[in-house]
Amino acid sequence: QVQLVESGGGLVQAGGSLRLSCAASGSIFSMYIMGWYRQAPGKQRELVAGISSGGSSNYADSVKDRFTISRDNAQSTLYLQMNSLKPEDTAVYYCNAYRLYRGIKYNYWGQGTQVTVSS
């Protein structure tokens, strides 16, 4: 079992920056693939960025060159640095932990943190 707690969301003007954090507990953080997802009103939840246990990352095209995902395995914490924010980045951002082990999928979500970008 993994517990995930996001923080760092808020209201920011377009062009500004925010840094989201996700504190994990309850299991071995380094074994999990971690990701940030977001869900805007009336839209499906989408992957923003993911990072493997070894640090390889991938990004949605809409956030490439603006967002950076990172992880600190020693502190069991996931980060998302968001720069040059746009109004269309407004959404609830969720932290996700995923692991496939012996054919069993382990998938956990945080409660989400609201990011609002004003124009």
What confidence score (pLDDT) does residue 108 get? 97
Nearest to 19 by CA among 83, 104, 65: 83
- pLDDT above 90 for 1: no
Give the tens place of pLDDT for each residue, 83-110. 999 999 999 999 999 999 999 999 999 9
pLDDT tens column, 2-41: 999 999 999 999 999 999 999 999 888 999 999 999 999 9
pLDDT at 45: 97
According to DSSP, the residues that pair with 38 across neighbouring strands are: 46, 93
